[in-house]
Amino acid sequence: MNAPTRLWPRAILHIDMNAFFASVEQRDFAELRGKPVGVTNGEVGTTLITCSYEARAFGVKTGMRVYDARRLCPGLIQRPARPKVYAAISTRIMHALKDISPDVEVFSVDEAFLDVTHCQRLHGSPEHIAQLARQRIHDISGGLPCSIGVAGTKSTAKIASDLKKPNGLTVIPPWEARELLDGVPMKKLCGLGPNIAEFLSLYGAQTCGDVARLPMTVLARRYGVTGKYLWLACQGKDTAPVAPEVASPQSIGHGKVLPPHTRTAPVIEIYLRHMCEKVAARLRRYDMQAGQLYVGLRLEAPCEDIGQLFPLPYGMFDGKQLFELAWKFLRCRWHGEAVTHVQVTAAGLRAGSGQLELFTADDSRVTRRFSAIDRINLRYGEFTVAPAILLGRSTMPNVIAPAWRPDGHRQHIPE
């Protein structure tokens, strides 16, 4: 008679889609399979968003300039990103995971945590549940690879998923976590910033085991709750919960990288107007109102950010009026320097009342006009109807922001 399976007091899965964007390209285009592929934002993108494992074998890495990547891998195939495709696949995957456990935390477009503690009597051991999840992902995504880490905490599960790539499965039972983490480099721990790493190096701490052997007070006195969390995480004992609920956004923003050495006012104005229109459209779409507007520029030399926060009357939702503030900022704070990036962010958000306070009752035709424009753009594509000035806007496609989620306000793919 088989011995009963030992139930874990806590069981967490971390699922990491391997080279997600590049894997989708290889899935959809047979000629790319087995080839070194680098995905960039558009045909002329200069930086790799991600790359296939065939490219990584040459030392190519995410975030690398295409020029540098091609020096390492002359045969690198550059592919333009298709963010809507990636978001649609991710949405299907994340929704499918909820069939295994309702406790799913979408960590990013290609990562998720599942708390399967209460599913063990239904689905079996945590390792078996991980195998079910991988098969489910394989079926729903058309064979895309993923690595899964299984452990008693989120931090340990994330470390585990990174140990075997691509398409690996690593199990670290809670009662073995401290021993298995002992020699793991501290930099593998999620949430460990460079400042904390530098501080710990003063104590000779390079691995999780080194940190675990320090008195907890060393970290707690300096970093408070965060320090205590890191000390426990290095032993596989942290209690950070899987959080299915996504907090309401505190801001809605859009930024854009400009062509190199841009210092022409009309070009910068078009980019700012573009971002203002995108912010306004999202506020209208989700019936949200903003009390502040941040407008910023990143200068090429000296490399610095300049910006200004403007108060907004709640209810403002017209991109043209947002741009009036951006134009004012440009005239007052910009003095002809080359600009590499523009940013427009609406902050101080609150739920709309259903009435746009900026306009009087006599201006209902204005609200009807915007409603019609938004419906057309939603159906036929962003900026199908747009101000004429945006004919000169950037042709670079949208990208998926780190805050993207498959549902609600964060579902939008910003630029």
∠ CA(290), CA(372), CA(328), 5° rounding? 40
Q: How far apart are the first and last CA of the chain?
A: 59
φ/ψ of 351, rounded to 5, equals -65, 140
Q: Is the dihedral of CA 324, 325, 331, 336 positive or negative?
A: negative
Looking at residue 405, what DSSP letter applies?
Answer: -
DSSP 23-65: HHHHHH-GGGTTS-EEEESSTT--BEEEE-HHHHTTT--TT-B
Beta bridge partners of 113: 14, 105
Which strands make up the sheet holding 12-17, listed edge to edge?
104-108, 111-115, 12-17, 146-151, 169-171
Written as one string, the DSSP assignment of 123-189 is H-SHHHHHHHHHHHHHHHHTS--EEEEEESSHHHHHHHHTTSTTT-EEE--GGGHHHHHTTSBGGGS
Could you say which of 25, 111, 176, 337 is catalytic?
111
Q: Which two tokens stand for residue 15?
A: 């699922």
In this structure, the dihedral spanned by the alpha carbons of residues 361, 362, 368 and 369, taken in order and rounded to 10 degrees, is: -140
Give the β-pairing of 77-80 and 37-40: parallel
The answer to whether 111 is a known catalytic residue is yes
Dist CA 83 CA 396 (whole Å): 12
Residue type for position 327: W
Q: Which residues are catalytic?
A: 111
